[in-house]
């Protein structure tokens, strides 16, 4: 018996023994509900174990700490922001990171690029700050800007080359809330606030 079949069989036996008591059944139910953080926590472990473990019955694995590896963000993007912010992408107001076919990026943050902002990076930064401040004050949504480019810092800037793509992203990138306990309702509210503001701003521009 290969490792995957052996592993899943052992987990099935464990779950069957837990399913006898009503309290254990209640605890285990979220494991199979994709809208819950508990499902994400278990699924992400299995996904990475399947990739990393050799197919041997003698193999074993140990999760130390949270072991998050950015998969919460991947699921939030897949089930939430990508769907709810699709209209902004279609209208050219924002962009998501585009992955390569056959590959799945493991990102710590759920990020967008505000491609609707001014062509000048300095002006775009100010516009982004206005958006972030509005979301925080009017909708209680905290966001974070992309980091400044390393080559733009004072200790490097004197001899640094121009890196226009990095500078463009740095001036327009924004990280949205993402954590394992963020429910889909919260993703909808955050998305709705951003959609409303950007579309209103575009109409009045």
Specify whether 33 is located in the same domain as 109.
Answer: no
d(CA 87, CA 55): 43
Q: What pLDDT score was predicted for residue 69?
A: 42
Please check whether residue 186 lies inside any domain of the structure: yes
Name the pTM for this structure.
Answer: 0.61
How many domains are there within the chain?
A: 2
64 occurs within a structural domain: no
43 and 116 share one domain? no
- pLDDT band for 15, please (50, 70, 90 cuts): low
* 8: enclosing H helix or E strand: helix 3-18
Q: Give domain status of residue 19, yes or no.
A: yes
Establish if 131 belongs to a structural domain: yes
The answer to whether 117 and 82 are in contact (CB under 8 A) is no
Among 81, 109, 104, which residue's Cα sits nearest to residue 179? 109
pLDDT digits (tens, 9 = 90+) for 47-100: 666 666 555 555 554 443 344 444 555 555 555 788 788 889 999 999 987 777
150 and 190 share one domain: yes
The pLDDT score that the predictor gives to residue 63 is 44
Is the domain of 121 the same as that of 159? Answer: yes
pLDDT tens digits along 24-36:
667 666 666 777 6
**Which of 32-41, 92-101, 169-178 has the lowest average pLDDT?**
32-41
Residues 98 and 44 grouped into a single domain: no
Domain of 162: which CATH number?
3.90.1150.10
**pLDDT tens column, 118-168:** 999 999 999 999 999 999 999 999 999 999 999 888 888 888 888 999 999
Query: What domain range is 84 assigned to?
Result: 71-203
Judge if 95 and 191 occupy the same domain: yes
Q: Are residues 77 and 48 in the same domain?
A: no
In a domain, 102, yes or no: yes
Give the SS3 label for residue 69: coil
Distances from the Cα of 147 to the Cα of 133, 151, 185, angstroms: 17, 11, 28
């Amino acid at each position: 018996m290969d490792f995957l079949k052996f592993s899943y069989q052992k987990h099935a036996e464990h779950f069957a023994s837990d399913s006898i008591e009503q309290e254990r059944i209640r605890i285990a139910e979220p494991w199979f509900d994709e809208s819950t953080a508990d499902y994400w926590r278990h699924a992400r472990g299995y996904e990475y174990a399947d990739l990393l473990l050799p197919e041997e019955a003698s193999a074993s694995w140990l999760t130390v700490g949270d072991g998050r590896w950015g998969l919460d963000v991947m699921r939030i993007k897949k089930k939430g922001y990508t769907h709810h912010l699709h209209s902004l992408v279609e209208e050219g107001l924002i962009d998501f990171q585009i992955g390569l076919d056959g590959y799945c990026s493991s990102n710590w943050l759920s990020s967008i690029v505000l491609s609707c902002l001014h062509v000048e990076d300095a002006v775009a930064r100010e516009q982004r700050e206005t958006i972030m401040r509005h979301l925080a004050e009017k909708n209680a949504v905290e966001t974070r800007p992309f980091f400044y480019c390393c080559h733009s810092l004072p200790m490097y800037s004197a001899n640094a080359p121009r890196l226009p793509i990095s500078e463009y992203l740095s001036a327009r990138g924004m990280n949205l809330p993402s954590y394992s306990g963020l429910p889909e309702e919260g993703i909808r509210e955050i998305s709705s606030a951003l959609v409303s503001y950007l579309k209103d701003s575009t109409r009045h521009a």
